[in-house]
Amino acid sequence: MNAATSLPSGWEHRVATVDGIRLHYVEAGHGPLVVLLHGFPEFWYAWRHQIPVLAGGGCRVIALDQRGYNTSDKPAAVAAYRLDRLVDDVVGIIRAAGEDSAIIVGHDWGGAIAWSLAMAHPDAVRRLVVLNGPHPRRVFEEFRTAAQLRRSWYVFFFQLPWVPEWLIRRGNFRALDLVLTRDPARRGAFTAADIAAYRSAIAQPGALTAAINYYRALFRSNPFRLYHALRPIDCPTLLIWGERDRYLGRDFTEHLEPWVADLRVARIPEASHWVQADAPERVN
């Protein structure tokens, strides 16, 4: 048993089936629904610092293991990880919780899903909070620059078959250990127990390939279809950005006003891409 399986009092492991996919999540608290969406290569435990604050503040919190991650189902087909299907999972989780809408919080890939959900299903999103997850419009713009292409080298590497999985698995997921110890701006942002929990989650059968398939599915998607799916977002939106992000430049926080009407940007200079672990008090 590790830190992610032994839950504090009042937190519960739950499962919902959405379009035939079993999705695991952790639930805590009572009140307005808040759905937390993790990024790569994380799982529900990415929100360990936020769950007690939100639940203690009068919210019902669902921290989701998105499809492919940890103990959620892992469809084999790359197409199963298309952005529209990931968005539909979140809509299904909201409905399975007996609600029509929720406050949506997403980091990294979870942020991409959160932005897309707010555009495709605006009635399902009461408020939106995104952490170090670029708006899709800005992705189209910034990926034309050499600086961002260099930062995003791994996205292209992940298009290779089996090689990324082999490299990440080497040495009992040594690459994961290195990322979680060297990337954060705050020493000890991920403890040894945290890293062990992450390693256990990504070592679940099929989980690593499923996580990488998010990137493979994105590359196989029709860019014109993705671009024409962009819509303005009207709900109150908070974008939190750790400015010491090695992967996503600060420019992603700019020029968003035409696309997000009610936007507040909170930049945290002392935080990295792993902003909710680096600066949990500021994020909370």
| DSSP reduced 3-state for 231 | coil
Q: Do residues 11 and 28 make contact, with C-beta atoms less than 8 angstroms apart?
A: yes
Could you confirm whether 227 is annotated as catalytic?
Answer: no
Could you confirm whether 215 is annotated as catalytic?
Answer: yes
Q: Do residues 179 and 168 make contact, with C-beta atoms less than 8 angstroms apart?
A: no
Could you confirm whether 108 is annotated as catalytic?
Answer: yes
d(CA 111, CA 109): 5
d(CA 261, CA 16): 33
d(CA 163, CA 170): 11
Q: Do residues 176 and 195 make contact, with C-beta atoms less than 8 angstroms apart?
A: yes
Q: Do residues 240 and 132 make contact, with C-beta atoms less than 8 angstroms apart?
A: yes
CA torsion 125-128-133-137 (nearest 10°) is 70
Annotated active-site residue in 45, 245, 273, 278: 273
Annotated active-site residue in 73, 214, 215, 278: 215
Annotated active-site residue in 65, 88, 89, 108: 108
| Residues classed as catalytic | 108, 215, 273
